[in-house]
Homo-oligomer: A and B are copies of this chain.
Amino acid sequence: MAKANEFVKEIADIHGDFPQWYTDVVLKTQLVDYGPVKGTMVMRPYGYALWENIQRELDGRFKATGHRNAYFPMLIPYSFLMKEAEHVEGFAPEVALVTHIGDNELPEKLVVRPTSETIIGHMYSKWIQSYRDLPLLINQWANVVRWEKTTRPFLRTSEFLWQEGHTVHATREEAEEETLRMLGVYEEFSRNVLAIPMFTGRKSEKEKFAGADATYSIEAMMLDGKSLQSGTSHYLGDNFAKAFDIRFLDKDGSHKYPYQSSWGVSTRLIGAVIMAHGDERGLKLPPYVAPVQAVIIPIAMHKAGVIEKAEEIAATLAKAGIRVELDKSDNSPGWKFNEYEMKGVPLRIEIGPRDIENGVATVSRRDKAGEKFTLPLNDLVSGIQNLLREVHESMYAAALAFRDSHVKTVKNMKELGDAVNDNCFALSMWCGDRGCEDKIKEEFQATSRNMPFDQSPVGDKCVCCGKKAKYKIYWGKAY
């Protein structure tokens, strides 16, 4: 008899060595590979298909909220970066610089965009003349480069793919409203598509975007209790408008600086999906972004009619818009079971002679190991669609329960340290001073995550210095 684990590709124990588990999973499921240049990644077809599904879902939401896509040049004059003081300080050390074309030195070095506020600000100053041109609501899908010392596939890579929205508004209120609207889009998308509950709130001054007046984030809790900042939405005030001289003639006949927002999510979301949902068997992909939603595995496939039936079912499901794959390879069913479990495919459909005889398919859910049940073949499409919805809901509920059981309200430094060392977020009051943030980081390697919109107090003193508290805030170790 073959042992069960004969079939299992080796992946590290998720409970014993989470970082190694992550590395094993992303490489062995062929989501990604390392590029030849340090810190770069190759998104292989399985990983890129996940990104395509994320893109499609987000893009529809951006368009439904009135945004249009555009594309701005990747190479930005170095002088642009210098125009906004905080921005240059934040990005200058990690930008890749193009200095030569072939053997010829360029008159001005160029920055490979780390983000596009500057070049977009420059173009907006040409395009915006009057209040009639506002609001201007543009999004860009693009690659960006930020040279990082420590890198990990999806989480932090020298080059990554993302979208960046850049909007311009006549008033401060409209720009703030847009900033929060898009944060809301990210939260809703994470919940309804990725099955990840997000902590939404405002970042501290220390953690905000270089050049913003305020940064808001969605923060996801990973299975090791660490936080992954998964997306940000910035209220830029008129900082870039002033730096790039964007002005408009308002209805009252005067020229004014408009107010801006910018917001982005990246291929980092794939890291969030992996680390919010995986288990000891590998990936567990949420159905609405899974590249393969259901895999069909023929049983006793050389028996008459099995392959034909499997192909018929695959065609029926595909026609209904279900992303289905039929594995007709010579590998054993056991090998296939393990392979698609590791790859996180939400549903497995077995079809063998007995199933055909009974007019059913045998179905297993990736999120509920060991359970098998049957669905009638004559109503398979709606059966599978219902199951995909159930898998999504159950994965969301599990992530929510995990998260809720890993947040501790803390009153002092001892409790804060215990919480973050016990793989939890700590929720506390805070005086708002940078000094306390720095001290918490130094002592516990934990950083402020964000300040929730619900600021109902859990005390009145700062968790660190004991002085009068201003904010309620989450702390955690983070990627």
Contacts and interface: CB of A to CB of B under 8 A. Distances in A.
A75 B49 contact: no
A41 interface: yes
A1 B152 CA distance: 69
Interface stretch (A94-102, A163-171, A451-459): A94-102
Interface of A: 33, 35-37, 40-45, 48-49, 51-52, 68-77, 80, 92-103, 109-110, 112, 119, 122-123, 126-127, 138, 142-143, 145, 147, 158-159, 161
Contact of A161 (B71, B75, B101): B71
B143 A143 contact: yes
B37 A110 contact: yes
Contact of A126 (B33, B95, B138): B33
Given A43-B71, A73-B42, A36 B80 contact: yes
A209 B204 CA distance: 53
Given A71-B48, A119-B36, A123-B33, A100 B101 contact: no
Contacts of A161: 71
Contacts of A76: 36-37
Nearest to A108: B37
Given A40-B75, A71-B48, A72-B42, A101 B110 contact: no
Nearest to A67: B45
11 contacts: A37-B110, A42-B123, A48-B71, A52-B69, A74-B159, A93-B103, A94-B101, A95-B101, A97-B101, A99-B100, A100-B109
A75 B160 CA distance: 12
Contacts of A101: 93-97, 147
B98 A36 contact: no
B75 A37 contact: yes
Contact of A77 (B36, B73, B110): B36
A125 to B, nearest CB: 11
Contacts of A96: 75, 98, 100-101, 110
Copies of this chain assembled into the complex: 2
Nearest to A68: B45
The 3 tightest CB contacts between A and B, nearest first, are: A45-B68, A40-B73, A35-B73
Given A92-B102, A96-B101, A112-B112, A73 B147 contact: no
A45 B69 contact: yes
A390 B269 CA distance: 44
Contacts of A77: 36-37
Given A122-B36, A123-B33, A143-B143, A159 B98 contact: no
A247 to B, nearest CB: 18
A127 B96 CA distance: 29
Contact of A35 (B37, B69, B97, B119): B119
A236 to B, nearest CB: 20
A65 to B, nearest CB: 14
A254 to B, nearest CB: 22
A307 B42 CA distance: 51
A38 to B, nearest CB: 10
Contacts of A122: 36
Contacts of A75: 37, 40, 96, 145, 158-159
A102 B94 contact: yes
Contacts of A99: 97-100
B42 A159 contact: no
A97 B97 CA distance: 8
Contact of A97 (B95, B100, B123): B100
Nearest to A110: B37
B102 A93 contact: yes
A92 B102 CA distance: 6
A76 B95 CA distance: 16
Contacts of A147: 101-102
A58 to B, nearest CB: 14
Nearest to A93: B102
A215 B41 CA distance: 30
Nearest to A95: B102
Contacts of A41: 73
A159 B71 CA distance: 11
Given A36-B80, A102-B93, A112-B112, A73 B119 contact: no
